[in-house]
Amino acid sequence: MTTFDYDLFVIGGGSGGVRAARIAAGHGASVGLCEESRLGGTCVIRGCVPKKLLMFASQFAEAFADAAGYGWSVGETRFHWPDLVAAKDREISRLEGVYRRLLESSGVEIFDGRGRLIDSHTIAIGTRTVRAERILIAVGGRPSRLEIPGAEQAIVSDDAFDLDRLPGRVLIIGGGYIAVEFAGIFNGLGAEVVVNYRKQRVLRGFDEDVRRVVEAGMRGRGIAFRYGSVPEAIEMEADGRRRVCFGDGQSESFDQVMFATGRHPYTQALGLEQAGVETTASGAIVVDAYSRTTASSIHAVGDVTDRVALTPVALMEGHAFADTVYGGMDRPCDHANIPAAVFSQPSTACVGLSETEARAVGKPFRIYRSEFTPMRYTLAGRVEKALMKLVVDDASDRVIGLHVVGPDAAEIVQG
């Protein structure tokens, strides 16, 4: 008779892995979990949480400027980057402790170290080997870099939270969530920001009206855009600045260069092949609606799969997996109508179909659109538009797309 150390062993202590471990343990399973870095994963340690803390910090300068229109007299203000980083670190450490206590109180045994598959039931963590009836892979993803000479001279989003000092001039390479969010953060804290993107407008895949209004708002805040030509090399100069050589033959110097060019699944050296787990060309683990891989005893959730790389989605997938396997429920993952929230400045979010996507469906629909100046900006004299846009199915009168740009849009739509 085959014996196992655990009913379930989870590789990865991020949002999806921790949720799955806790729910499975609550259903009576014996659970072990390993994490090579810090409990909490991308969202808590080097993603959503520290990003939003920095975003909050970056909005004070705008609030101070707007206050005069409302009768407030604000004296001289000063921002100190090291104080913000230290406060952020304290909060992240507190949350990491919360995650550890939640797991321990649930009866989950925690291993500090990277897990590697020996076979479809066996995991090596450092010098120790354990066996489990089922294995859940939840190792997440990592930031990608352009493969160009001098790429090591640039930072990625993971590094941006721990810089020794706030750079004076920053180049952000990319045009997605991370690029526009960090552009707003650095700009709000006082840096000169240039966004470089190979396309002609940021936030590809979003509704065209959203892209237009967000870019206009960013430009209004002083963020510059360099479209089309992308970097071909980065050179370190004698004074510590980075000279970026673009494909159009031009070059510019920056105090810091940041890659915001996407993320990739963290599946290197995980032992997937020898365990019989199929991956895509990008390294993402192939799963079905129940998070099952091609190895019957192995499941995967979160950013390591070929689905939607968002923290709430990883939480849903981990919970559904545990309920299905250990709670006697039938919970396939439904990835329809997931909100997309971007903590850019101005903020934006959407759910459902864009106007372009609705046209591709081929069914009659209506558009309701309004662009206006938010009331909070009127006395402040701020010239910036908000956008509300609905895509409505003609036959059913049902809203099939919602798109918002404006104050707190991301929080409102994502709930």
pLDDT tens-digit series, residues 145-162: 999 999 999 999 999 999
Last residue of a domain, one of 238, 261, 284: 261
Residue 283 is part of a domain; what is its CATH number?
A: 3.50.50.60
Number of domains in the chain: 3
Contacts of 291 (CB under 8 A, 6+ apart): 136, 299, 300, 301, 305, 317, 320, 321, 333
| Same-domain status, 237 and 191 | yes
One domain for residues 306 and 364: no
From 261, 282, 313, the end of a domain falls on 261
Same domain as 307, residue 192: no
pLDDT in tens, 217-265: 999 999 999 999 999 999 999 999 999 999 999 999 999 999 999 999 9
Indicate if 213 and 105 belong to the same structural domain.
no
Do 138 and 158 reside in the same domain of the chain? no
Q: Are residues 125 and 273 both part of a single domain?
A: yes
- Per residue, the 3-state secondary structure of 334-365, as one string, reads CCCCCCEEECCCCCEEEEECCHHHHHHHCCCE
Asked whether residue 359 falls in the same domain as residue 393, the answer is yes
Cβ contacts of residue 331 below 8 Å, gap of 6+? 290, 319, 320, 323, 324
Please say whether the beta carbons of 211 and 203 come within 8 A.
Answer: yes
pLDDT digits (tens, 9 = 90+) for 260-313: 999 999 999 999 999 999 999 999 999 999 999 999 999 999 999 999 999 999
The whole-model pTM stands at 0.96
- Whether 218 maps to a domain, the answer reads yes
Residue 290 is encoded by which pair of tokens?
């129940």
Q: Which residues lie below 8 Å from residue 231, measured CB to CB, with a gap of 6+?
A: 146, 148, 173, 196, 244, 245, 246, 247, 257
Same domain, 410 and 284: no
Asked if residue 337 belongs to a domain, the reply is no
- Token duo for residue 357: 């996507």
The answer to the question of residue 339 being in a domain is no
Q: What residue numbers bound the domain in which 243 lies? A: 151-261
Residues 133 and 276 in one domain: yes
Tell me whether residue 331 is in a domain.
no
* pLDDT 10s digits, 286-295: 999 999 999 9
Q: Are residues 272 and 125 in the same domain?
A: yes
Instruction: Tally helices (H) and strands (E) across the chain.
Output: 13, 21
Q: Is residue 333 part of a domain?
A: no
Same domain, 11 and 133: yes
> Which of 242, 261, 280 is the last residue before a domain boundary?
261
* CATH number, residue 392: 3.30.390.30
Are residues 127 and 12 part of one domain? yes
CB atoms within 10 A of CB 106: 15
